[in-house]
Every structure is written in structure tokens, then in C-alpha cells.
């Protein structure tokens, strides 16, 4: 690595005959300087400088949980299965429950009526990118373009302002977060994942959405047939725990 090659050169310079002779000539002050240089090399070897943002500092900019004392938020990432979206809307209405639907722009473009129905039923809309790209591989400008494309379409179709972004597959990096900050949007991920897109099993979806659930959580789901089947039991369980199903934005503001 380059840093260690540079340190090796510095070390060789410090311990060269020429340097040692100078130190002997100049006495105590030079000994202090030599000691300081040796300590500096040791410190640099033990604690190399990291010029990139750490994973921890990036994670601090992600919102994974709300502050509600009696609410949980179902967040549906929508890119397919329009019929399941309608079934989910019916079940949510039956239980007077609200959710946040993170919309894929290319899905919305083909399903404007369903998109409007989500709004009509009183649910919140979020942004899930337009083409379901891996945002961790995009430049900041590309992130801005992909997110903005979805926002513009959904806002024009519904008249609703979009302020939340959930990156597809939870993939993000510093460029993604800088892009959402530029767009004045919050980046949202989940506190628990039902993995319903992979495991087509209603019982598993139910267990993952309910086991040890606590107020303030964000529960990730997708509009699948098995999720639609499990949803009624999930909402009944929340009710038995005195928990309401609320939107992500409500969860971020609701301290009661």
C-alpha cells in the first residue's frame, strides 16, 4: 500500500547514518525531535488516515425507526404486482390502517390509476427511484437524476409532494446521501424486513412482521400475493398489542 511505502521511506530517512550523526552533534534538542518523529511514524502505522466517510457516519444519516409510542409503519416498496396493491389497500381500509408506499417511477408510469387510488385512500407516497437501480454504484449527479425523475412523475400525477426516499435493495453510499440532502429528502430504511419478495410464505411474512414488534418500527414489505394474504392477521396482531399502523412521516413526528 502507498501509505506504508511512504512510511518506510520516512523511517529509513529518520534512522539514516546522516540523521543519527546530526542528532549526536546537536544534543538534547535533536534527541527530542528524533523521538517525536519516531512516535509520529508509529502512530501513523497504527492509525492510518481514512479520507473516506466511515460506514458509521453514513449510517447516522439513514432513518430506520420513528418516535411514535404506539405506532408502527408498514413501508411497501412498489415496482410490480398491481393486483396485490389493490388487495392491500382494501385490507388497510378495513382496519383503518395507514401505510407509506415507496413508488418505483417506471411502475407508476404504467399504473397511474392505482397510484391515485393509494393517495385517495389516505396513504403516504415515497420515492423508490425510477428504474430500480443500484444507487450505491451511481455518482451524485446520477443519483439526483434517478430520484428526481421519479419525484417529478409522481408529484405531477398525484399533486402530492414527495419527501421520503427508500433506495432499492437498501443500497446506498455517500453519493446517494449527498443527493437526497441536495433534494431536501429524508433517506428511509427499515428496522425489520419481511423478505416477502424472496420467501413466498404467508406464515413467514406474518412472523417477521410481528415477532417482538415494538412502537416506532418501520416494517419493510412488498405487494406480493403472500403479503396480501398475511396482512389482515398482521394488523390484528398489532391491534392486540395496542399498536396502530401509521405512515412513516406520522411515525417521525408522533411522540404520542
Residues 148, 171: one domain?
yes
* 158 domain residue, yes or no: yes
Residues 150, 42: one domain?
no
* 163 domain residue, yes or no: yes
Residues 203, 122: one domain?
yes
Torsion over CA: 149, 158, 163, 101 (sign): negative
Residues 200, 127: one domain?
yes
**Taking the CB of residue 158, how many other CB atoms lie within 10 A of it?**
18
Residues 91, 174: one domain?
yes
Residues 83, 38: one domain?
no
Residues 128, 240: one domain?
yes
The backbone torsions φ and ψ at residue 250, rounded to the nearest 5 degrees and listed phi first, read -60, -40
How would DSSP label each residue in 180-231?
HHHTT-EEE--SEE--TTT---HHHHHHHHHTT--TTBEEEE---HHHHHHH
* 199 domain residue, yes or no: yes
The structure's pTM equals 0.79
Percent of all residues in the chain with a pLDDT value above 70, rounded to a whole number = 77
* 54 domain residue, yes or no: no
- The DSSP secondary-structure symbol of 41 reads H
Task: Judge whether residue 173 has pLDDT over 70.
Answer: yes
**Taking the CB of residue 46, how many other CB atoms lie within 10 A of it?**
7
Residues 33, 104: one domain?
no
Residues 30, 154: one domain?
no
Percent of all residues in the chain with a pLDDT value above 90, rounded to a whole number = 75
* 112 domain residue, yes or no: yes
* 55 domain residue, yes or no: no
Residues 20, 134: one domain?
no
Indicate left, alpha or beta for 81 from its phi (over 0: left) and psi (-120 to 50: alpha).
left
Residues 117, 8: one domain?
no
Residue 83: enclosing H or E segment and its boundaries?
A: helix 82-94
Torsion over CA: 170, 171, 172, 176 (sign): negative
Residues 174, 138: one domain?
yes
Q: Please tell me the total count of domains within the chain.
A: 2
Q: How confident is the model at residue 31 (pLDDT cuts 50, 70, 90)?
A: low
Mean pLDDT of 46-53: 40
Q: What is the pLDDT of residue 46?
A: 42
Range of the domain at 42: 2-49
Task: Judge whether residue 181 has pLDDT over 50.
Answer: yes
Task: Yes or no: say if 123 and 247 are a contact pair by the CB < 8 Å rule.
Answer: yes
Task: Judge whether residue 7 has pLDDT over 80.
Answer: no
Q: Which CATH number belongs to the domain containing residue 73 in this structure?
A: 3.20.20.370
* CA count, 13 A, side-chain hemisphere, 54: 5
Q: Bridge-partner residues for 73, per DSSP?
A: 218
- The DSSP secondary-structure symbol of 76 reads E
* 24 domain residue, yes or no: yes
Task: Judge whether residue 254 has pLDDT over 80.
Answer: no
Amino acid at each position: 500500500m502507498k501509505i506504508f511505502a511512504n512510511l518506510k521511506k520516512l523511517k529509513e530517512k529518520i534512522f539514516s547514518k546522516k540523521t543519527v550523526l546530526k542528532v549526536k552533534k546537536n544534543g538534547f534538542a535533536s534527541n527530542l525531535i528524533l523521538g517525536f518523529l519516531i512516535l509520529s511514524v508509529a502512530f501513523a502505522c497504527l492509525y492510518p488516515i481514512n479520507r473516506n466517510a466511515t460506514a458509521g457516519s453514513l449510517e447516522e444519516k439513514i432513518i430506520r425507526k420513528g418516535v411514535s409510542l404506539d405506532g408502527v409503519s408498514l413501508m411497501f416498496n412498489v415496482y410490480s404486482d398491481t393486483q396485490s396493491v389493490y388487495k392491500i389497500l382494501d385490507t388497510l381500509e378495513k382496519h383503518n390502517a395507514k401505510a407509506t408506499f415507496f413508488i418505483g417511477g417506471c411502475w407508476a408510469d404504467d399504473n397511474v390509476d392505482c397510484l391515485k387510488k393509494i393517495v385517495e385512500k389516505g396513504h403516504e407516497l415515497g420515492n423508490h427511484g425510477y428504474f430500480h437501480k443500484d444507487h450505491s454504484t451511481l455518482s451524485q449527479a446520477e443519483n439526483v437524476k434517478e430520484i428526481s425523475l421519479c419525484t417529478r412523475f409522481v408529484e405531477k400525477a398525484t399533486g402530492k409532494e414527495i419527501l421520503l426516499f427508500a433506495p432499492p435493495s437498501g443500497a446506498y453510499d455517500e453519493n446517494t446521501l449527498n443527493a437526497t440532502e441536495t433534494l431536501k429528502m429524508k433517506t428511509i430504511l427499515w428496522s425489520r424486513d419481511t423478505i416477502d419478495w424472496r420467501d413466498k410464505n404467508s406464515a413467514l411474512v406474518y412472523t417477521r412482521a410481528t415477532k417482538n414488534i415494538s412502537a416506532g418500527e418501520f416494517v419493510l414489505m412488498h405487494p406480493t400475493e403472500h403479503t396480501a394474504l398475511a396482512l389482515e392477521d398482521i394488523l390484528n396482531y398489532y391491534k392486540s398489542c395496542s399498536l396502530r399502523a401509521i405512515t412513516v412521516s406520522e411515525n417521525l413526528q408522533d411522540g404520542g
